[in-house]
Amino acid sequence: MDIKGFTSAISQIATEKEIPQEKVVDIIEQAVATAYKKEYREKGEVVKAKIDAKTGEAHFWLVKTVVDENTAVFSDEDGETEEEQEVEEGKVRYNPKRHMTLEEAKKIKKDVKTGEEIETPLEVKESFGRIAAQTAKQVILQKIKETERELIFAEYKEKEGDVLSGIVQRIEGRNVLMDIGKILGVLHKEEQIPGESYRPGQRYKVYVLSVEESSKGPNVVLSRAFPKLVSKLFELEVPEIAAETVEIKSIAREPGSRTKIAVYSEEEGVDPVGTAVGQRGTRVGAIISELGGEKIDIVEYLEKPEDFIRNALSPAKISDVEIKDGRAVVTVPDDQLSLAIGKEGQNVRLAAKLTGWRIDVKAIGKEKIEETAEVNDVDKKETEKNKETQDGEKELSKNEENKEDSRKEKNSTEKETEEKNLEENSKKEKED
């Protein structure tokens, strides 16, 4: 086996897999040391190799660990594994192939201490048999695969809690597998937005919920329903939030339906709500579009609980907020009660999550409403009474007029009758 050519070939493979050069060299050294021991040394020995990455020149050492004679357990049989070496806590089964007593070690190095390693140079070998070369190849392939997994795990572990862009690769049962770069992440059913459909090739923003190691490699769990997805989208869309000029204090979400988010700024002249909304709603509109039309209420965070609760219950108009017995009692006008509670209690439920207070909503008391009604009734009765009096007076005046007309008519009739009688008497006298 040509070490120089071997090193060059493996370095090229590792570069394609984006493995650091020092990792590549370490893998090759372990593989070459294994091949050297297989070909030239005895089983149970520890061989170390060192390779110059530039020249490909290799050096080998036999490594032995220094043990104290007083704590070592000596036996006629040589232990072959670490398990066989450990006989009890604080003691090691002595194996001459891999151990050296403190007395022997001091002949080589005077200031040596227990636990240190003594390296003895071995003859340099550059060619190995078929079996040794095959062993080295297996070691390299295994180590490269392990290293690749470790690097991917470390890379995505750092992205835990971030938002990535993923492409739907395939759907397995209720789970959606998404391409997020070097590996596939899984979007479980409970982490999907209710009612949202997924088709291969679609691109979505996803929240990296957790990254765990498994026998098949890193297991990345994604989410579209987690509340922090919304806050992370605001960080990407609103530069002032990313720069911490505007701070997201709290967030409450019911995925696919509605989200409430509280923003705050200590900077003078900065409107946190207006900043998050954007000119003509462009910023929040982009996030709503990404979430499939989910409604987003942006409210201003205030230090005083009463004021914060008042804001959190928007768009309802609040008459009064009273904090007592660890809860907030909110009073609203009667026509604002349903708006404050929301459909199926959603508005007050989200407001409670957003503020951290238990909220009770009630309309203006019945006593006040009844009192107002009674006053209105009295006014109405008084008005009706006045009207009746006025109508009575008008009727009385009319009756008097009718009586006067009747009297005049009667007098006129009586006068006509009297005149007629006089005329008839005068006529009769003339005839006689």
Token couple for 75: 């036996």
Q: Where in the chain is the domain with CATH 3.30.1480.10?
A: 3-153
Of 271, 269, 332, 266, nearest to 299 (Cα)? Answer: 271
Q: How many CA atoms lie within 13 A of 184 on its CB side?
A: 13
How do residues 123-177 score in pLDDT, each as one tens digit?
Answer: 887 667 777 778 777 888 888 888 888 889 999 999 999 999 999 999 999 999 9
* Comparison of pLDDT for 176 and 92, the residue scoring more: 176
Q: Where in the chain is the domain with CATH 2.40.50.140?
A: 159-223
* Confidence band for 25, pLDDT divided at 50, 70 and 90: confident
Q: What is the DSSP string of 167-220?
A: EEEEEETTEEEEE-SSSEEEE-GGGSPTT----TT-EEEEEEEEEE--TTS-EE
Task: Read off the amino acid at residue 426.
Answer: S
For residue 34, list its beta bridge partners.
none
For residue 208, list its beta bridge partners.
222
* Comparison of pLDDT for 300 and 68, the residue scoring more: 300
pLDDT more than 70, % of the chain: 76
In this prediction the pTM is 0.66
Q: Which of 56-65, 128-137, 219-228, 418-427 has the lowest mean pLDDT?
A: 418-427
CATH (one of 3.20.20.140, 3.30.1480.10, 2.40.50.220, 3.30.70.660) for 3-153: 3.30.1480.10
pLDDT of residue 3: 55
> Residue 43 and residue 215: Cα distance in Å, rounded?
29
> Does residue 213 have a pLDDT over 50?
yes
pLDDT of residue 18: 78
pLDDT of residue 392: 53
Q: What is the mean pLDDT of residues 235-243?
A: 94
Q: Which fold has domain 159-223?
A: OB fold (Dihydrolipoamide Acetyltransferase, E2P) (2.40.50)
* Confidence band for 262, pLDDT divided at 50, 70 and 90: very high
pLDDT of residue 31: 84
Sign of CA dihedral 5, 8, 12, 13: positive
Q: What is the mean pLDDT of residues 84-111?
A: 74
Q: Which of 19-33, 93-107, 165-179, 388-402 has the lowest mean pLDDT?
A: 388-402
Residues across the chain: 432
- Whether a cis peptide bond, with omega within 30° of 0, leads into 315 is yes
> Residue 58 and residue 88: Cα distance in Å, rounded?
38
Distances (CA, A) of 410 to 118, 398, 413, 415, 419: 154, 18, 5, 9, 14
Inter-residue contact 224 to 216 (CB < 8 Å):
no
> Does residue 80 have a pLDDT over 60?
no
